[in-house]
């Protein structure tokens, strides 16, 4: 069964410096019909204005994945990761803790962590996805990891970018879940075997794509339950995230 979640039906918040679409209930947006899917609790599509960002704030007992689409996001936390300086260019090398398109960052909040996220660029908006997944176990030690997956790794296929065991070079999340990312255009096509006892959640970041025959446009998502196979095809400049989740 496929359950469609249209982009226009998401929650939206405009804070001036931050514009955010909420796939699930978050902050002032609350809809009891959309509290998450399985152990996936948050997907926020955030746009941070130039020279602004999230000041230091705390998290606990959550696996947080950041996936940048445009611009750069500077991260600094109480574990000693990141630097407070400005974003470095691609040619000069970027500062540790700065994530750009192609990077996947995982922060395990565990027993508690303080962090900040900032767009130091004076002219360019940072566009990224903030993803929260409930951990398998509460009270673990906080942790941080950042890896790069360039376009070639995702072109016409679903690259594993986050998993519980860190296989295939993915970042390690302490949750019963995995995350794949792919880029599809034209005749490019991918199939993925599913466990019908689990849930899959497909979030189309941008472009157009058909998921098991269901047409999606940028920002749309579909929950897949009781299915044995996922088929992605008919892409047009599509970037997609596919979650495998505990039901």
pLDDT tens, position by position, 105-148: 999 999 999 999 999 999 999 999 999 999 999 999 999 999 99
**Helix-strand-coil split of the chain, %, nearest 5:** 5, 55, 40
pLDDT tens, position by position, 51-60: 999 988 999 9
Q: Are 40 and 13 in contact (CB under 8 A)?
A: no
Q: Which has the minimum average pLDDT: 21-35, 42-56, 88-102, 183-197? A: 88-102
Cβ neighbors of 57 (< 8 A, separation 6 or more) are 114, 115, 116
Where residue 80 falls among pLDDT bands split at 50, 70, 90? confident
**What integer is the mean pLDDT of 67-94?**
69
Residue 22: both structure tokens together:
């909420």
**What integer is the mean pLDDT of 31-58?**
95
**What integer is the mean pLDDT of 40-49?**
98
What total of structural domains would you count in the chain?
1
Rounded to a whole number, what is the largest CA-CA distance in the chain?
49
Q: Which has the minimum average pLDDT: 36-45, 88-97, 120-129? A: 88-97
Strand order in the sheet with 143-148: 11-14, 18-22, 40-48, 126-133, 63-70, 103-108, 143-148
pLDDT of residue 95: 47
Nearest to 50 by CA among 84, 76, 21, 87: 87
CATH code at position 113? 2.60.120.10
Domain containing residue 122:
2-245
pLDDT tens, position by position, 134-143: 999 999 999 9
Where residue 77 falls among pLDDT bands split at 50, 70, 90? confident
């Amino acid at each position: 069964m496929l359950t469609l979640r249209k982009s226009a039906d998401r929650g939206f918040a405009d804070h001036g410096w931050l514009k955010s679409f909420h796939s699930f209930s978050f902050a002032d947006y609350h809809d009891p019909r959309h509290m998450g899917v399985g152990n996936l609790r948050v997907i926020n599509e955030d746009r941070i204005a130039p020279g602004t960002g999230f000041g230091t704030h705390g998290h606990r007992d959550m696996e947080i994945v950041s996936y940048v689409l445009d611009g750069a996001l500077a991260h600094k936390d109480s574990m000693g990761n990141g630097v407070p300086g400005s974003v470095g260019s691609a040619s000069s090398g970027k500062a540790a803790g700065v994530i750009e398109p192609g990077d996947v960052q995982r922060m395990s909040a565990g027993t508690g962590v303080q962090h900040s996220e900032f767009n130091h660029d004076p002219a360019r908006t940072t566009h990224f996805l903030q993803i929260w997944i409930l951990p398998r176990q509460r009270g673990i030690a906080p942790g941080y990891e950042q890896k790069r997956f360039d376009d070639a790794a995702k072109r016409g296929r679903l690259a594993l970018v986050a998993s519980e065991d860190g296989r295939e070079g993915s970042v390690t999340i302490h949750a019963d879940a995995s995350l794949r990312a792919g880029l599809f255009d034209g005749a490019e096509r991918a199939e993925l075997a599913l466990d019908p006892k689990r849930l899959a959640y497909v979030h189309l970041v941008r472009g157009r794509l058909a998921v098991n025959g269901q047409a999606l446009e940028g920002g749309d998502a579909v929950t897949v339950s009781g299915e044995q196979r996922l088929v992605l095809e008919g892409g047009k400049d599509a970037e997609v995230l596919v979650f495998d989740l505990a039901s």
